[in-house]
Structure 1
Amino acid sequence: MKGNLNKKQSLFIEEYLKDMNATQAAMRAGYSEKTAMVQGHQLLKKTLVSEEIKRLQAERSDRLQLDTDAVVANLANIAGAVISDFVDFDGTSLKFKDFNTLSREKLAAVESIKQGRFGLEIKLYNKIHASDLILKAIGGYITSSDIIDKLPPERLNNLVDELMQKLNR
């Protein structure tokens, strides 16, 4: 399908797949910073662009042998992790649990273990960020894109015109 897309559209798709941020992808693809938000939104509405994004996402999912459910389950492990999964506290000291006895799901929440000034340090992945990603994946947020998508075309066109006029001042 890539043959039907122009060079800038192809670059936008490549950039969009990095972080799923249409505005940033549009800027990295060479669109003006002033119009990147509008351009990104309009590009995502183009059938050829959206179909290519879906195709490449499916290709990536097959290649990685991952699906959305697996990713969300991994994020749930991160969001649900607590420090007592990894250390015991007897009131005066901390002792690491035997990591060989911990499940793969529990260990997925560990970002790093390193030697610090006062001994071993364990850092877990950010629970808030994981929770945020879960909510996005399950539709727990209403985004500006959700609202824009529900606008009648004539109202959306009016808003885009108004925005462009303000940006060009």
Structure 2
Amino acid sequence: MALTAKQERFAEEYLIDLNATQAAIRANYSVKTAMEQGSRLLSNVKVRAHIDARMAELSRRTGVNQERIMRELARIAFLDPTNLVNMDSAELLDSATADDRAAIASVKVKSMSGDVDMVEREIKFADKIKALELLGKRFGMWVDRQQLEGAVGVQIVDNVPLPPADT
């Protein structure tokens, strides 16, 4: 059995921002129950399969996937700027690889003429700390919330005395 028109609309809307509540609202589900409807629709096997298939299709078409994202984050996180830039002249080295250059956020070159000709170069790299943070989260190196684990026995003690028996 295929998806209903409303379910398909929800799935397409969900792909926009991955927000189930907003997707349900945009698919004309009740605003009051949008959160519950979104959750219910995401747990529907057919709706989920449709969303997964569309996400895979988008990934193939754009070439964006988890492996590529991880590779780009690793390029940024582990870049050694001295392998990319001459620290005296701020010029890119001929030996800089494509991986090295992928970590550059921007390059600004300013020439000034006058009594003395000057060239000012500014090279900004992508945020190394953010890349390391995202990689660390991916590998579970830090957790934003506390996790408690362990087996704990529970013993219920009833200290309330029983009423005297009628004799």
Aligned residue among 87, 91, 97 for 1:96: 91
SS at match of 1:52: helix
Residue-pair matches, total: 138
Give identity over the alignment, percent.
38
Q: Distance in 2 between matches of 1:34 and 1:127?
A: 42
Rg larger for: 2
Higher helix share: 1
Shift of 1:85: 4.4
How big is the alpha-carbon RMSD for the aligned residues of Structure 1 and Structure 2?
Answer: 3.7
Contact 1:72 1:137 in 2 (8 A): no
Please list every run of 5 or more consecutive structure 1 residues that lacks an aligned counterpart in the other structure. 145-169
Matched to 1:60, the amino acid is: L
- Pick which of 133-142 and 107-116 moved more: 133-142
Deviations 1:5-43 (A, max 9, x none): 234433332233334343444455455666544433322
Given the alignment of the two structures, is residue 109 of structure 1 paired with residue 107 of structure 2, yes or no? no
Which one has more relative contact order, counting CA pairs under 8 Å at least 6 apart? 1
1:79 counterpart (72, 77, 80): 77
What secondary structure does 2:90 align onto?
Answer: strand
Cα gap change, 1:81/1:51 in structure 2, threshold over 3 Å: closer, same or farther?
A: same
C-alpha distance in structure 2 between counterparts of 1:62 and 1:79, whole Å: 26
Aligned to 1:121: 122
Q: TM-score, normalised by structure 1?
A: 0.57
1:62-106 CA-partner distances (Å, limit 9, x unpaired): 33455422321122112223544443435xxx52222x4221212
Instruction: Map 1:1-169 onto structure 2 (within 5 A).
Output: 4-31=2-29, 35-65=33-63, 67-90=65-88, 95-98=90-93, 100-115=94-109, 119-135=120-136, 137-138=138-139
